[in-house]
Amino acid sequence: MPAPDAPERPRAGVGETWKGVATAPFDRDLELAVIEGNAIHKLIFPCRRILGGWMKAGTAERILVQPTHWRAWGK
């Protein structure tokens, strides 16, 4: 069973809040989720999509992640 704060995997045909990473916008703060092994983890800081990857929104530091899905940062 996933941790209580782990995001659910998006399911086809269901109106979930998580979206596939290929649709992530470039111009806003996002919450990312990463799958490691069989576990899904949310990043604890807002991220922004940049050409060729991702960065921390607050510091503009490039981060090396391969997220699987995203949603708007709401914190």
Q: In this structure, what are the phi and psi dihedrals at residue 21, rounded to the nearest 5 degrees?
A: -60, -25
Average pLDDT, the chain: 83
Share of the chain above pLDDT 90, in %: 63
**pLDDT tens figures, 43-62:** 999 999 999 999 999 999 99
Tokens of 57: 């929104």
Tokens of 39: 């576990």
Buried/exposed 24-48: b ≥16 CB within 10 Å, e otherwise: beeeeebbbbbeeeeebbbbebbbb
Instruction: List the beta bridge partners of residue 35.
Output: 40
Q: Taking a C-beta distance cutoff of 8 angstroms, is the pair 48, 29 a contact?
A: yes
**pLDDT tens figures, 9-45:** 444 333 358 999 999 999 899 999 998 888 889 999 9
